[in-house]
């Protein structure tokens, strides 16, 4: 489908979804965002749903301002994927050992490494810029500096919620590695710190929703936020790169005879800010639950823990600010999913996938998400499909 334009807004709200299927609370959030004085346009992705302040699955373009809640509290959250030389025939019938090995190497949930990962000891990991990155920690908000030890030990860890590590096969039988994670607790604390500051600024006192508080250009508050924002985005990217290096090491050891090789890594943020130019204007574009899909950009659009995912290539649609969806998107809240589904339902919907099937992940059941095929079909003018993947192992936080 192409987009539909939401009527009545002072700036274009272009929606790659059927408005009739979008929850009323999410539609109201979009209208709220459109009232901001700095707004130049919104692009709404097929996986749109209610979020804090701004919807998940929205791309918001502003001039001279940025809204931290339109980035999300997991700054830099995103995906990484790597195609391997292995095929489905190389995989054992029982994948429980492989899942166990991954869980031993990559801490999940609130877990962290006993000692910080030394990237210099990771096979093929590029350490250029690593020392400079940590050197900039001294320049981030004083309120979170005491978290440095935890931040170093959480580097290379998965987290919880909808974060995951997967081993997948594509339609040709090739094996892929894929993971989803962000800036861990340090990114969340930086986001919440700056949202709190923004909400107290005089220019934000008359907003329809206090969670839409913004920083404006050429102010010390904006400069401080941008500094911490871009640092956290880099943290998230390093976090995924280290996890992928650890995952590759597991694969090398478990499939030693096959001597696995790995293609270049595909990596894409989906909670972040970028400086981009549209219609002759320099804009700050926030993607909250959306990926960049400029012409030729590779991206990853995952489904749920039982349905599969897509590797895509962007078509460069400027009406969508060169963006696409970040996943299937939830169709019910976590609490609603827990009320609606049981562990028996989870077992049924994840049949054939080596994964957790206990009550702790019922809120991530495939039935809680929109159908990924429908989400892909709604954005055929935003991306082209490169590969369709189906997970055989899923490690959940």
Provide the annotated binding site for GMP: 162-166, 270-271, 302-305, 309, 326-329, 396
Contacts of 273 (CB under 8 A, 6+ apart): 66, 71, 229, 233, 284, 285, 286, 287
DSSP structure class, residue 71: T
- Cβ burial of 351 (10 Å; 0-12, 13-18, 19+) is exposed
Give the annotated binding-site residues.
74, 162-166, 180, 270-271, 302-305, 309, 326-329, 396
Q: For residues 357 and 346, is the Cβ–Cβ distance under 8 A?
A: yes
DSSP structure class, residue 21: G
Give the annotated binding-site residues for Mn(2+).
74, 163, 180, 270
Rounded to whole angstroms, how far apart are CA atoms 317 and 32? 25
Rounded to whole angstroms, how far apart are CA atoms 71 and 67? 7
DSSP structure class, residue 328: S
Backbone φ and ψ for 164, nearest 5 degrees, come out as: -160, 160
Rounded to whole angstroms, how far apart are CA atoms 325 and 343? 29
Q: For residues 306 and 366, is the Cβ–Cβ distance under 8 A?
A: yes
Among all residues, which ones are annotated catalytic? 326
Residues linked to residue 43 through DSSP beta bridges, in sequence order = 14, 59
């Amino acid at each position: 489908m192409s987009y539909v334009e939401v009527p009545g807004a002072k700036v274009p709200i272009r929606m790659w979804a059927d408005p009739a299927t979008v929850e009323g609370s999410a539609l109201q959030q979009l209208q709220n965002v459109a009232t901001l004085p700095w707004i130049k346009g919104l692009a709404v992705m097929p996986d749109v749903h209610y979020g804090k302040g701004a919807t998940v699955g929205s791309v918001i373009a502003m001039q001279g301002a940025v809204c931290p809640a339109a980035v999300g509290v997991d700054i830099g959250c995103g995906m990484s994927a790597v195609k391997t030389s292995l095929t489905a025939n190389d995989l054992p019938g029982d994948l429980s050992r492989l899942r166990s090995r991954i869980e031993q190497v990559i801490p999940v949930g609130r877990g962290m490494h006993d000692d910080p990962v030394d990237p210099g000891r990771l096979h093929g990991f590029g350490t250029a810029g690593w020392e400079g990155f940590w050197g900039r920690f001294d320049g981030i908000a004083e309120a979170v500096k005491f978290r440095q030890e935890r931040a170093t030990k959480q580097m290379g860890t998965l987290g919880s919620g909808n974060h995951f590590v997967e081993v997948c096969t594509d339609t040709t039988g090739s094996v892929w590695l894929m993971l989803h994670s962000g800036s861990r607790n340090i990114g969340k604390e930086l986001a919440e710190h700056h949202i709190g500051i923004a909400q107290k600024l005089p220019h934000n006192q008359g907003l329809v929703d206090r969670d839409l508080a913004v920083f404006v250009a050429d102010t010390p508050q904006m400069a401080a936020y941008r500094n911490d924002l871009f640092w956290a985005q880099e943290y998230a990217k390093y976090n995924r790169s280290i996890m992928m290096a650890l995952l590759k090491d597991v694969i090398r050891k478990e499939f030693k005879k096959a001597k696995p090789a790995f293609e270049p890594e595909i990596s894409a943020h989906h909670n972040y800010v970028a400086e981009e130019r549209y219609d002759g204007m320099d804009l700050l574009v926030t993607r909250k639950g959306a990926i960049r899909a400029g012409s030729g950009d590779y991206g990853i659009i995952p489904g749920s823990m039982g349905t599969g995912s897509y590797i895509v290539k962007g078509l460069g649609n400027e009406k969508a600010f060169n963006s696409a969806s970040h996943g299937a998107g939830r169709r019910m809240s976590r609490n609603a999913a827990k009320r609606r589904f049981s562990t028996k339902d989870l077992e049924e919907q994840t049949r054939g996938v080596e994964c957790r099937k206990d009550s702790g992940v019922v809120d991530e059941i495939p039935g809680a998400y929109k159908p990924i095929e429908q989400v892909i079909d709604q954005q055929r003018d935003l991306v082209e499909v490169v590969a369709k993947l189906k997970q055989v192992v899923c490690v959940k936080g």
